[in-house]
Chain A
C-alpha cells in the first residue's frame, strides 16, 4: 500500500518524462552510417569527394524529404583511415564504440579486405550487434568469391568483370597488334596484368604483349623513362590500372613524348585528372566503368548533377555507385522496416533497383555482387553536356555492355548466419 503514498503528480511527471524520451528517440534518432575512407594524405582527393557525394545524396533523397522509417534522418559519420589498413582497424573500433552499424568504404582493396575480416570476426562474436559493410568501389575479385561474406555487399563491378569488357573492346580494334601493360606493384596491378593476358590470349591470340611492367606505387617521380621503353617496344596501345598521381603522370608522359596510342584505364578521370590531361589527351584515353557518362540518359540524373554542382561548383558527381549504394540500402531499410544490418542484408539480397540513370541494378544473393551495365568512355570535348573538373572536357560513353552480359560465375560459398 505504500506505493500509493508517492504523490500522484510526481508519478505523472516521471511517466511523461519517460514517454517523451522514448517517443523522442523513436522519431528523431538518426540512422548513422560511417564513411571510412582517406580524408587526408596522398589519396584525400578521392575520399573527400566521395564523402561529399554521399552526404549530398543523403540530404537530397532522404533528409530533405522527411527522412527514413517515418522521420529518421540519415547521418554520415566521416572517419579518416588515410587509406591504411592499420588506421582502418582503429576507425572500425571507433565506429563500433559509437554504435554505428553500417559502414561505407571503397578505396583500396587492401582496406576492404581488412574490414571484411574484422567485420566477419566481430559479427561472429557479437550476435545481435552486427555490422554491415557497404563496399562501393574496392574491386578485388576475392571479396565476392573466396572471401565473400554475408555482411559484405559490393556495388561496383570487380576487376575481372571490367577487364572482360575492356578486352572485348580492345579485341574489336584491328589496328592493335601489340599491347603494353604497366601497373602499380601490388595486388590490384598484378590482377589486372594477369587477367588481361589470360583474356586476350582467348579473344585475340594475335595480339602480342610487348611489355608487362610494374613500378612501386606512388614512388615514381617521372614516368618518362618507362614511356621511352613503351615507345621503343613498338606497342600499339597501353593498358594500366594506375590511379591518382601515378595515372596522371603516366598519361602525361606518354602524351609529352608524342606517342599517339590509345591508353586503356580504370581511373583516368575527375578529381583534377581530366583537367590535367587536358586537350592533349582527347580521343586517346579510355575508361571502363559502370553508370553511363555523357550523354546522360535521364532528366532525374541531370537534375541531381545540377543540384550537386549548385552546392559544390568545384566538384563533380564522380561516383554514382555511392549514390546507388545508399539508395539501395535505404530501400532495404524501408522494405524491411528495420535499420538492423541482418534485416537490411536480407532485403538487399536479390534486390532489383532502378537508379537515377533509369537502369536496373541487380544484387545477386549468391555472392552479394551488384550487376549493372558497363561502359567504355573516351576522354573528349565532343558531345560533353556534363564536363569534369569544369574543364570543358569529359567522358563520352562509346561502348556499352548490358547488365546480363556482365554476369560472371562466383566461387563464393556463403555462410549465412541464422537467427
Chain B
C-alpha cells in the first residue's frame, strides 16, 4: 500500500507541476488583460509539435530551448496584430477571438503535421530509471520534469515579486494609466507578458510531449482542466494557480490509486441494491472510474462556496 501512496504522490506532483506551467501563463495573461485565453492549451500543443520537428533535426535539447521561443514569439505576434485590434471591441470579442484561434491552431497542426500520433521521444541522456522502488521505476525524465517546473515557478515568483520588471508588471495590472504616465509602454508590457505566458505553455508542451504523447487532440485534453485550475486558484493569482495545480494533480492521482467506490460507501451505510435496480450503474461507480472528472466537481464546489477561488481577491 505504501508504494502505491508514494508513487501516487510523485505522479500527482508531476501532473500538478505540468498543469501549473500552463496555468501560470494563463492566469498572468488574465490578470493583465482581463481576457481568458481559450487558445492557451493550443500553444502548449504547438510547443510539443515544434519541439518534435526540431528534435528530428537537431536533437531534443535544441528543441527544449528553441520551441518555447518560437511559440513565445508567435504568441507575441498574435497579441500585437490580433488581440490588440480586437481588444477595442470589448471582452466578448476577445473571448471569441481566442476561441476561434484554438480551432485554427488545431486545424493548422493537422494540416502541417497530419492527424497521426508523433513519435516524439525522451532524450537518450535521461533514458534511465532515477530510482526503483518496490519493483517500479521512476524515470529520470519525470524527475527532470519536476525540476524544470519548480525552477520555472521559483524564477517566475522571483521576477514578479523581487525585480524591477515585476514591479512594473504588477503596477500595470492594477494601474495601467499611471504606469503609462510614468513613461512605460504599457501595450508593450502586455505583449511581452502574453509572449512569456505562451512561451511557458510551449515549454510545458515540449517537456510533456514525449510522455503524454504528441497528437492533435492533446490541447483539448488539457485545455478544460487548465481553466478549472485558474478558477479554483482564483483568477489572476499565481500562488493560487500553484496550489490548485498541485491539488488537482494529487487529487486525481490519489483517486485513481484508491480502490474505493460507491459499493464501499453503501456497505458502510448497510444499504444494498439489486443488480436490476434502474440506478445500478450509479451504485457501482468507483473512484478511479471518475477520477478524471473530479476536478470539475471541485470546480462546482469552489464556485458555490468560494466564488473568488482559493486565493482570489474579491472584485471591487
Q: Which residues of A contact B (CB under 8 A)?
A: 40-42, 44-45, 48, 185, 213-216, 218-222, 224-226, 228-229, 231-232, 244-245, 248-249, 252-253, 256-259, 271-273, 275-276, 278, 314, 389, 391
- List residues 197-248 of chain B with CB under 8 A from any CB of chain A: 211-213, 215-218, 220-222, 225
Which A residues are CB-close (under 8 A) to B78? none
Give the interface segment out of B67-75, B82-90, B133-141, B184-192: B133-141
Judge whether B115 and A248 touch: CB under 8 Å: no
In Å, the complex CA distance between A48 and B132 comes to 42
Q: Which residues of B contact A (CB under 8 A)?
A: 3-4, 7-8, 11-12, 14-15, 107, 110, 114-121, 129, 132, 134-137, 139, 141-142, 211-213, 215-218, 220-222, 225, 252-253, 256-257, 288-293
In Å, the complex CA distance between A221 and B212 comes to 6
Given known A-B contacts A228-B8, A259-B136, A314-B114, A272 and B215 have beta carbons under 8 A apart? yes
Which A residues are CB-close (under 8 A) to B141? 256
Judge whether A232 and B288 touch: CB under 8 Å: no
Q: Which of B3, B115, B120, B220 contacts A45 (CB 8 A)?
A: B115
Q: 4 closest Cβ contacts across the A-B interface?
A: A272-B117, A272-B116, A258-B137, A275-B119
Most buried by A among B142, B212, B220, B222: B212
In Å, the complex CA distance between A58 and B255 comes to 50
Judge whether A231 and B118 touch: CB under 8 Å: no
Which B residues are CB-close (under 8 A) to A276? 117-120, 213
Q: Which of B11, B220, B252, B292 contacts A228 (CB 8 A)?
A: B11
Complex: chain B residue closest to A45, CB-CB: B115
Given known A-B contacts A185-B289, A219-B221, A245-B217, A225 and B115 have beta carbons under 8 A apart? no
Judge whether B136 and A231 touch: CB under 8 Å: yes
In Å, the complex CA distance between A45 and B116 comes to 5
A235 to chain B, nearest CB (A): 12
Which A residues are CB-close (under 8 A) to B225? 221
In Å, the complex CA distance between A44 and B117 comes to 11
Judge whether A249 and B216 touch: CB under 8 Å: no
Most buried by A among B211, B289, B293: B211
Judge whether A272 and B11 touch: CB under 8 Å: no
Which A residues are CB-close (under 8 A) to B288? 213-215, 226, 229
Judge whether A215 and B291 touch: CB under 8 Å: yes
Given known A-B contacts A225-B252, A228-B4, A248 and B117 have beta carbons under 8 A apart? yes
10 A-B contact pairs sorted by A residue (CB < 8 Å) = A42-B220, A45-B117, A220-B292, A221-B15, A224-B14, A226-B288, A228-B8, A244-B215, A245-B218, A276-B117
In Å, the complex CA distance between A257 and B7 comes to 11
Complex: chain A residue closest to B254, CB-CB: A225
Which B residues are CB-close (under 8 A) to A215? 288-289, 291-292
Given known A-B contacts A229-B257, A276-B118, A222 and B293 have beta carbons under 8 A apart? no
Judge whether B211 and A252 touch: CB under 8 Å: yes
Judge whether B118 and A232 touch: CB under 8 Å: no
In Å, the complex CA distance between A124 and B156 comes to 67
Complex: chain B residue closest to A46, CB-CB: B115
Most buried by A among B3, B119, B129: B119
In Å, the complex CA distance between A221 and B14 comes to 11
